[in-house]
A and B are shown apart, each in its own frame.
Chain A
Amino acid sequence: GENVEQHPSTLSVQEGDSAVIKCTYSDSASNYFPWYKQELGKRPQLIIDIRSNVGEKKDQRIAVTLNKTAKHFSLHITETQPEDSAVYFCAASKNNNDMRFGAGTRLTVKP
């Protein structure tokens, strides 16, 4: 099955700085790449996703980029705020089948 690697496992930034989380995937047929945010004690929830027919997608302070050739995709958070502190997970799937998650990145935004 698909294998998703995520880095870094922990990330600490100052409020206002940018944060970047990177993921790689193994199956070149994967075509859907969602990102989830998990706040303390809660379930992971989708924050943004990208499909393989686009290279970049933005939603306010959050952007995702996809490089299909290199099989990697990244989450970019600009102007970070303390409420961005959470665990972030990337995932990859192919036609709604076999969604696999990265191990997660614990982001801490220091005020």
Chain B
Amino acid sequence: NAGVMQNPRHLVRRRGQEARLRCSPMKGHSHVYWYRQLPEEGLKFMVYLQKENIIDESGMPKERFSAEFPKEGPSILRIQQVVRGDSAAYFCASSPQGGPVNTEAFFGQGTRLTVV
């Protein structure tokens, strides 16, 4: 099991470009969370998805940001028209389908987005 895979690890974009961040959850995991982390700060919740469904996007800015988790393929966090303030590390985490036995969520290595 390869664990949670995020790519790219580092992404540089000019202001106004689009950034696409990918997260492949662990095998068998159907829940994905996206978090943003600014330097020297904690994790800020952005969005919680299950396969083909957005469960909670209350932490995600309503403009320019979108997320999806299709039936097939990775979860995508998309940031349109990036600005310098979008520079941060973006982590995704995955966990198994809900059920009576709780298990931990596993994090990917993160994508460090730099907007120049």
Q: Which residues of A contact B (CB under 8 A)?
A: 1, 6, 9, 31-32, 34, 36, 42-46, 49, 51, 87, 89, 91, 93, 95-104, 106
Contacts and interface: CB of A to CB of B under 8 A. Distances in A.
B107 A43 contact: yes
Nearest to B42: A104
Contact of B56 (A1, A32, A46): A1
Contact of A100 (B45, B91, B110): B45
B110 A43 contact: yes
Contact of B98 (A6, A43, A87, A97): A97
A89 B105 contact: no
B25 interface: no
Q: Is the interface of A mostly helix, strand, loop or mixed?
A: strand
Interface of B: 31, 33, 35, 40-45, 48, 55-56, 58, 91, 93, 95-105, 107-110
Contacts of A87: 42
Contacts of A1: 48, 56, 58
A103 B43 contact: yes
A93 B42 contact: no
B43 A101 contact: yes
Given A43-B107, A43-B108, A89-B43, A99 B95 contact: yes
B91 A93 contact: no
B99 to A, nearest CB: 6
B33 A43 contact: no
Contact of B102 (A6, A32, A106): A32
A95 B101 CA distance: 6
A10 to B, nearest CB: 10
Given A99-B93, A100-B45, A34 B31 contact: no
